[in-house]
Amino acid sequence: MNPGGPHRARKRFGQHFLSDPVVLERIVDAIDPLPDQHLVEIGPGRGALTRPLLARLARLDVIELDRDLIDALQSLAPGRLHVHQGDALKYDFRQLANTLGAVRLRVVGNLPYNISTPLLFHLVEQIDCIADMHFMLQKEVVDRITAGPGEAAYGRLGIMLQYHCETRRLFTVPPGAFRPPPRVDSAVVRLRPHVTPPVQVSDPAILSQIVGQAFSQRRKTLRNSLKLLLSAEQIRAAGIDPGERPERLGLPEFAALAEVVLAASNSG
């Protein structure tokens, strides 16, 4: 089966195959892969991005869920292309990095829209084995990843990714670049793990808990949304107005709240 052939995109896999050669070239140039680097492509589909990546690499690993695409992918570059059939949401990237010699992986892909957010959190959990990430995502998701305090798209996804990574929107891609075309614009984003996090947090899991709880009721004030974790007095002790809403707080303020929660749990 030809990877550029008639395989029909499957709705249940969220498949929209990238087909515009100009966009593909722009993505590969943004990634700028070097021959000896270890890249992992998530959701290669029919291989539109896989082929130009292979042209620059000695080895490429890909993770594909759709069994009907596996044979065609394996025929692209036997010995150099290593196809892992499975769910990227469950994939152990650390194990692959260790298998390759304790390397740091460069992760890329045109991510299925229906799993992009949980997949990003799955990757963040393994951030220690990742050098950088370049993804095509729904533009709305990239807006959330790169948003700052006060912006409508600002929330848990952006805060947690910005804690772990430098986030940068690279460019927008119109629906016509895909087959079948999605109903929304897409965008390419670069995520580069920080050498040192921008704020000091003793326990990132508590930071995630605080941010998740705050934005589960984003219209409410911190006094109300965080009442199960912190009293108004404790919020005030962190230097933050309990009457503020979560979308007004930056990463330093959420880090301060996380430290108060940790201190309270340790004293209790």
Mean pLDDT taken over the chain: 92
Q: What is the pLDDT of residues 220-256, one digit of tens each?
A: 999 999 999 999 999 999 999 999 999 999 999 999 9
Q: What is the pLDDT of residue 14?
A: 47
Q: What's the whole-number mean pLDDT along residues 139-157?
A: 97
For residue 167, give the 3-state DSSP assignment: strand
- pTM summary value: 0.91
Task: Tell me if residue 251 falls in helix, strand or coil.
Answer: helix
pLDDT tens digits for 55-71? 999 999 999 999 999 99
List, for residues 127-141, the tens digit of each pLDDT value: 999 999 999 999 999
**pLDDT tens digits along 28-59:** 999 999 999 999 999 999 999 999 999 999 99
CB 258 within 8 A of CB 203: yes
CA distance 39 to 54: 10
Pick the CATH number of 11-193 from 3.40.50.460, 3.40.50.300, 1.10.760.10, 3.40.50.150: 3.40.50.150
Task: Fold for 204-267, please state it.
Answer: Helicase, Ruva Protein; domain 3 (1.10.8)
Query: Using one digit for the tens of pLDDT, what is the confidence trace for 103-117?
Result: 999 999 999 888 999
Query: From CA 268, how far away is CA 263, in angstroms rounded?
Result: 9
Confidence of residue 180 (pLDDT cuts 50, 70, 90): confident
Task: Examine the pLDDT at 4 and tell me if it is beyond 50.
Answer: no
Q: Where in the chain is the domain with CATH 1.10.8.100?
A: 204-267
Domain with CATH 3.40.50.150 in the chain: 11-193
